[in-house]
Amino acid sequence: MGCDIRRQRYNIPAMRTSLAALAAAAFALVVAARPASAHQASASFAKLMATDDPARVRYELLLAARDLYEALELDTDREATAAEIARGKQRLTVYLLERVKFEADGRACSAALVSLEAVEQSQRFARAVFDITCPAAIGDLALDYDLFYDLDPRHIGFVSVEGTTARLTSPDDTRLVWHVGGGAPPSGLLGFVESGVEHILYGFDHILFLVSLLLMAVIARTAAGRSRAVSRGGRDALAYAGAIVTSFTVAHSFTLIGAALGWFELPRRLVESVIAASILFVAVDNAIRLDPPRRYVVTFVFGLVHGLGFASMLRPLLPPEDVVLPLLAFNVGVELGQLGIVLVSLPLLFALIRAVGAERYRRTILPGGAIVLGGVAFLWLLERAFAFRILGL
């Protein structure tokens, strides 16, 4: 438990919504670090809801079946089946209540299981519903959260309260304090912007895809010979990077918005596998072709799939109504994250090509990037396509 307390305050009316909307979204892979995914940490998703009883709240928790191997004492680190979740109901309940605690105004609250079941959407989840009963009418309700940090230090616990979502992370932000009463709830738009920035900055495969593309931004072939390399000027490099980022933005914005609104959906395993394949393709292409033409077309095609990856994280965070502004705010955050990657990467690549020269950059840096970036992407592809566990990132 961290020494700093993350304190978020909400004004919550009577309970109106359930976590079933979250179960419909393939969120739990959001930042899945086991196995590698587009979002480099495992995650849980919860809702806190008021009830008609001022001393009781409802807590609904959604967990990816792939994160339950220890809690259910499975024979290996793998996704739990629906039957295993049903058989392990008591064991899982004990596991959760040992790691998630509530208190109201400094006094411990008790938790009673209402239901625990497996739910199937684009992937399998376990959904646990608890009634949290406190000694008296609740003023400040504190949630102390300690799930999965021992297995994944980057684990994130998302807690939604009337459409506003808090992120609980180890070691310092593992407590949420909910003030029941007084004041209007925050709009949350800034929080959606922050979520978009975090999603791309902590989504290592999105970063590797952009970096693989930007490796070619500082080098080109000469007009006289296709095999002769030359450094790009600053203006040309910015134009190249701008075309790449614009293409990626247009593509992923289209699928992000469409998938987040439920217009279409693809299986999560397919999406994550193609995202890994996109990094592998660009890394190898960098090594075998100097300054490939129409790179923005490749970026657009793969950007459509990356947008589906973004949507799997965003969908459960959207409020039940008025989703347009939060969705756009999240997308703004993604674009800010992309801009940050470009602003950091381009100066470093310019410094590198000036230090080694264009020809050596082509003969060593691009093939080396293909080995490193392509190798990681290939292992991710195996993990995602065949459910192997290799990197464990």
- Tens digits of per-residue pLDDT, 277-319? 999 999 999 988 888 888 889 999 999 999 888 887 676 566 6
Q: Which residues have a Cβ under 8 Å from the Cβ of 139 and sit 6 or more positions away? A: 104, 105, 179, 180, 181
DSSP per-residue letters across 306-326: HHHHHHHHHGGGS-SS--HHH
| Nearest-angstrom CA–CA distance, 168 and 158 | 6
Q: Does residue 176 have a pLDDT over 80?
A: yes
Q: What is the mean pLDDT of residues 326-343?
A: 89
Comparing 111 with 220, the larger pLDDT belongs to 111
Going 327 to 331 to 337 to 340, the CA torsion angle's sign is negative
* Helix (H) / strand (E) containing 49: strand 43-50
Q: Does residue 20 have a pLDDT over 50?
A: no
The encoded tokens of residue 170 equal 């180890």
Cβ(338)–Cβ(49) under 8 Å? Answer: no
Helix, coil or strand: residue 306: helix
Q: What is the mean pLDDT of the chain?
A: 80
Q: Does residue 116 have a pLDDT over 60?
A: yes
| Nearest-angstrom CA–CA distance, 126 and 67 | 10
pLDDT at 13: 34
| Nearest-angstrom CA–CA distance, 231 and 360 | 11
pLDDT at 12: 34
34, amino acid identity: R
Which residue from 205, 200, 223 is spatially nearest to 381, judged by alpha carbons? 205
pLDDT tens-place string over residues 139-156: 788 899 999 988 888 888
The encoded tokens of residue 53 equal 């009883």
Q: What is the mean pLDDT of residues 214-239?
A: 81
Where does the pLDDT of residue 177 fall: very low under 50, low under 70, confident under 90, or very high at 90 and above?
confident
Cβ(278)–Cβ(210) under 8 Å? Answer: no
| Nearest-angstrom CA–CA distance, 336 and 219 | 25
Q: Does residue 137 have a pLDDT over 70?
A: yes
The encoded tokens of residue 334 equal 């993604």
Among 71-85, 178-192, 251-265, the range scoring the smallest mean pLDDT is 178-192
The encoded tokens of residue 217 equal 């931004």
DSSP per-residue letters across 62-127: EEEGGG-TTTTT-SSSSPPPHHHHHHTHHHHHHHHHHHEEEEETTEE-EEEEEEEEEEESSSEEEE
